[in-house]
A and B are shown apart, each in its own frame.
Chain A
Amino acid sequence: MKQRITFIQRVDAGFDPEQAVLTASSLSVRNLDAAREDRITVGLAELPEELRTVLEQSNELHLRWASEGYFDAVAPFSSRVSPGLHVHYTPLKSESSSEALCTLLRTVVAPNKDAQYKDCSKLEESFITPPLLSTRFASSASLQYHTHLPSIQSLVKYIQNTVCDQSRTDGSECRTRADALLSADSVDIDYDSISQTLTVSGLWTSPPTGGWTDKFQKPASPTDQIEFGLLGTEAGLEPEEIKMGGLLAVVGQDKKLKPTMFSFPSRHQPLTEPSSYTVSFASPTGLHPKMSISMPRSSLKRPPAPSDTTCALHTYLTLPSTIFGDQYQLGTTDPLFLESHNLVSLHALAGEMDLEAPDWVVQRWGSNWLLELATPPEAEDAASTPGPSNWTATIPLHLRYLPPSETGYRTAHIPWPVVFWACTAEDDTKMGLNPFDRTNLGWDGLFGPRTLFYQLQPAGDHLVEEIDVPVLRLEGDGYFQGRYIEFGTCVAISLGFLWVLWRLARVAWSSGVGNKRAEAVHDKKE
């Protein structure tokens, strides 16, 4: 087992050498004002049986969880996914359907009864296949899943019950570490069959009140290791590089903290100027809600990417099955439609596209959409032009019918999409090595390997929109009961049927069935 603890201090954060003390057996930090990433790497053999079974069937398994709350992503951890749990999975054998993964997922998500959770009994029924723009970008997993997940309490409990109990000596330490994940802003879990290791990373973009105070003991087993880093970030010499400097140490091995300075290419780059966006649905939402993505015009300057790259603003939507886009409406090339919504084009889509099915018929979790957004014309960049200070792109969406409820409404939870600049270079060689690299986010695989991403920061306290979806109101007792509808319809149809029959009978009675009327016969005789 390997641990890597990285603290990232902002430029303006103060640091006193007393705050990080390394001894022969431990390292302690005190009141440290920094963002923090913990990364634990575990070999397959060290894992409990249940988890190992799942992983042994996997070629790749990547879980990405992001909190619904506000957090300020900091370089080199500036990449984001929409809130909730994302699963990217490639089975070892393409036809093998792993029920074990579904069982694991259900444990981790622990859906409550009313959640619009797409249960997965078979992977191929609830997972979607992400689009492959080109086989050369084979970086995306073959199956994908997402679910609304405000808290990872069940995941933490699962880790404590299975992983931690196995550990011999550091059981309580393990449980403390797992508990800490509850306050993380984002959690990544990665496994691939080549390395045969499982990596769990937690990211806290801001310290707890009073700063980080923690003590890391030298591991008991000689095979285990704890790496420690206290770093600051600045722009690299090249636009695609990030430069970091600070102190590094391996606990129990190094005698003192080693000053260091290094730089590396990074696909995820911070935007140098503050840039944010907000997401909302115009009220009333009706059955056809329109998603608005608003950005201050000042947020929309071309990122500082190399001049030979092409930059375009994108948004990547993760929509649960309750809400969907019409691929023909959004995929149009009609400039009038696109201009009126400040869209450029729909680049990729995957998942549940049915335009008519109600939610209870849809088996897969939902859909993903990559759209290129328009940016204000260059002339307006001068900021001298009057007009609204916000630039808004709108995406027309539609709601599915949801099952009846007692109140006549159900809530659809729609995570905010991510918004980012993608700057693509002609060159399609692989990116150089980056110790903090992050891939398998869903949207990154839709671009070439040398693309640089600059993400805008979502500015809101709650990054999930909640829409009231009108549904049939049904009560156990009271005025709104299913049987009244059944009875009422039955009576109305029967009365209508009998009324028409009665009218027909009267006609038949007075002139006989099938007889022609007198005049017609009379006419014929003429």
Chain B
Amino acid sequence: MALFNSPARVFFAATALRLILLVYGGWQDAHSAVKYTDIDYMVFTDAARYVAKGESPYARDTYRYTPLLAWMLMPTAWEGVASWSTLTFAFGKVLFALSDVLAGWLVVQLLIRCYRFPVERALRYVAAVWLWNPMVANISTRGSSEGLLGVLVAALLWATLTKKPVLAGLILGLAVHFKIYPFIYGVSILWWWDAERDGSTVTSSGLLSKAWGFITPSRVKFTIAALASFVALNLVMYLQYGQPFLHHTFFHHLTRIDHRHNFSPYSTLLYLSAAGGAETRFEALAFLPQLILVVIALPLVLAKKSLTTAMLAQTFTFVTFNKVCTSQYFLWYLILLPFYLPSSSLIRKPTLGISAAILWIAGQALWLHQGYNLEFLGLSSFVPGLFLAGISFFAVNVWILGIIVQDGECAGEITVALK
């Protein structure tokens, strides 16, 4: 298709799609009691208003993010002529939508430069998965900040694959400060970035020299940069907003008990144990399978074979084995799919790919049906409905994860340092 010959046309269409949604969203907000804008966006803009008044963003209940987000959205708090205020209000959404497009651009660049994709093929995959994906455009134009994570992860990959350890470290620190989960990528990148990757040909033998050989300049730079940006950002925020910053940005996410129904297989168990009905404290160990796979096993086995497949598998595992899982989490691995899909067995074997898609959607549908029964019809569908639906969805995800892991063996990027 001629459309995919030109990056300009693909990005123009992606931008136009977001612009149309932004305008439509503004229209719906102004004419209907049912709002297009996400509730979270109201939280962000309320927090930005507090910041503009010189107060803490945590003065807004349920603001559980870095103050950076509220700072970035300060223009939404500008008050002025009525017609202006609708424009300034949309500032954050425009920012999120632009981040989306930028993330897509970075992925296209990487596919072309590091994976030797023809332009057309790169554009086709990124458009299908990300740029033209209505779900992605919808989420960012409704004002959810998940799109920012997309651009941070894409930028992290770009800096890594083009061998800029300091920049990659700085971006990782920022990403972890923004949302905790990207720390998992740090492990993969560290393991991946061996001496050979830096162009060294020295092959060391002996355990001690191997261990010593692990410490390469790139790994050191990356680690220090990541720690520096993470610590610096937290220090600035802590000095500015004190304990509430630490509590809402980090501790809340670590200590919360998500007793409400969600896609996680732990959901019913967490309700049971939060209400004091559990005999064991099995869920207290939930971090073990999740972190063993995500932080140790997956990076160790996959990162050196294919960094992006390892990161996709990590994200997929993190979300699948997490104690809480909502649909916005699925966006986390979407940005990594264009790297994996082209060479995956899901595409090579259409029956497998279609079965995986059907099973995943069926798992979702099954759960959503039970969720609808509970949430809207008021039926007690926790057991067996939601419990079994959650476990089935988990099983489908684990099966797909097995395919990704298997594909990790024979997928990889070409990581010659670009001159």
- Residues of chain A touching chain B, judged by Cβ–Cβ distance below 8 Å, are 284-288, 327-328, 334, 336-337, 339-341, 353, 355-356, 358, 360, 401, 403-404, 407-409, 468-474, 479-480, 482-483, 485-486, 488-490, 492-497, 499-501, 503-504, 506-508, 510-511, 513-517, 519-520, 523-524
Stretch of B15-23, B80-88, B136-144, B376-384 contacting A (4+ beta carbons < 8 Å): B376-384
C-alpha spacing A474/B293, complex, angstroms? 33
Inter-chain contacts of A474 with B (CB < 8 A):
272, 277
Inter-chain contacts of A286 with B (CB < 8 A):
374-378
Inter-chain contacts of B317 with A (CB < 8 A):
500
Question: Provided the pairs A356-B62, A489-B269, A501-B293 are in contact, do residues A511 and B383 lie with their beta carbons within 8 angstroms?
Answer: no
Inter-chain contacts of B387 with A (CB < 8 A):
485, 488
Complex A-B: 12 CB contacts under 8 Å: A287-B374, A287-B378, A360-B275, A401-B260, A472-B272, A472-B383, A474-B272, A489-B283, A493-B266, A496-B265, A500-B401, A504-B297
Inter-chain contacts of A524 with B (CB < 8 A):
414-416
Other than the given A403-B275, A524-B415, 4 more pairs (CB < 8 A) read A287-B376, A470-B380, A489-B269, A495-B398
C-alpha spacing A507/B398, complex, angstroms? 16
C-alpha spacing A470/B271, complex, angstroms? 13
Q: Does B31 contact A (CB under 8 A)?
A: yes
Asked if A497 and B293 sit within 8 Å, CB to CB, the answer is yes
Which single member of B259, B377, B384, B391 contacts A492 (CB below 8 Å)? Answer: B391
C-alpha spacing A515/B32, complex, angstroms? 57
Scoring B269, B277, B380 by chain A CB atoms within 10 A of each residue's CB, the highest score goes to B380
Q: Does B191 contact A (CB under 8 A)?
A: yes
Q: Does B240 contact A (CB under 8 A)?
A: no
| Beta-carbon contacts under 8 Å, B32-90 to A | 32-33, 42, 46, 61-62
Q: How does the 8 Å CB contact mask read for B139-182 relative to A, with 1 for contact and 0 for none?
A: 00000000000000000000000000000000000000000000
Which single member of B196, B298, B380, B412 contacts A517 (CB below 8 Å)? Answer: B412
A131, chain B: closest CB distance, angstroms: 16
Inter-chain contacts of B297 with A (CB < 8 A):
500-501, 504
Asked if A482 and B259 sit within 8 Å, CB to CB, the answer is no
Which single member of B46, B271, B416 contacts A472 (CB below 8 Å)? Answer: B271
B105, chain A: closest CB distance, angstroms: 25
- Residues of chain B touching chain A, judged by Cβ–Cβ distance below 8 Å, are 30-33, 42, 46, 61-62, 191, 196, 259-260, 265-266, 268-269, 271-272, 274-280, 282-283, 286, 289, 292-293, 297-298, 300-306, 317, 320-321, 374-384, 387, 391, 394-395, 398-399, 401-402, 405-406, 408-416
Question: Provided the pairs A507-B406, A511-B409, A515-B305 are in contact, do residues A470 and B414 lie with their beta carbons within 8 angstroms?
Answer: no
Inter-chain contacts of B399 with A (CB < 8 A):
499
Question: Provided the pairs A492-B395, A496-B395 are in contact, do residues A470 and B405 lie with their beta carbons within 8 angstroms?
Answer: no
A77, chain B: closest CB distance, angstroms: 38
Asked if A489 and B274 sit within 8 Å, CB to CB, the answer is no
Question: Provided the pairs A286-B376, A494-B289, A496-B394 are in contact, do residues A513 and B42 lie with their beta carbons within 8 angstroms?
Answer: no
Across the two chains, which residue of chain B brings its CB closest to A516?
B304
Asked if B304 and A514 sit within 8 Å, CB to CB, the answer is yes
Asked if B405 and A504 sit within 8 Å, CB to CB, the answer is yes
Inter-chain contacts of B268 with A (CB < 8 A):
472, 485, 489
Question: Provided the pairs A403-B275, A485-B272 are in contact, do residues A492 and B301 lie with their beta carbons within 8 angstroms?
Answer: no
C-alpha spacing A524/B317, complex, angstroms? 30
A470, chain B: closest CB distance, angstroms: 4
Asked if A485 and B304 sit within 8 Å, CB to CB, the answer is no
C-alpha spacing A327/B62, complex, angstroms? 12
Inter-chain contacts of A490 with B (CB < 8 A):
280, 282
A291, chain B: closest CB distance, angstroms: 15
C-alpha spacing A495/B399, complex, angstroms? 11
Asked if A482 and B378 sit within 8 Å, CB to CB, the answer is no
A473, chain B: closest CB distance, angstroms: 5
Asked if B383 and A355 sit within 8 Å, CB to CB, the answer is no
B390, chain A: closest CB distance, angstroms: 9
Which single member of A403, A470, A483, A497 contacts B279 (CB below 8 Å)? Answer: A483
Which single member of B33, B62, B383 contacts A485 (CB below 8 Å)? Answer: B383
List the 6 shortest-distance A-B pairs measured between CB atoms, nearest first.
Answer: A408-B380, A340-B33, A470-B380, A497-B289, A496-B398, A503-B405
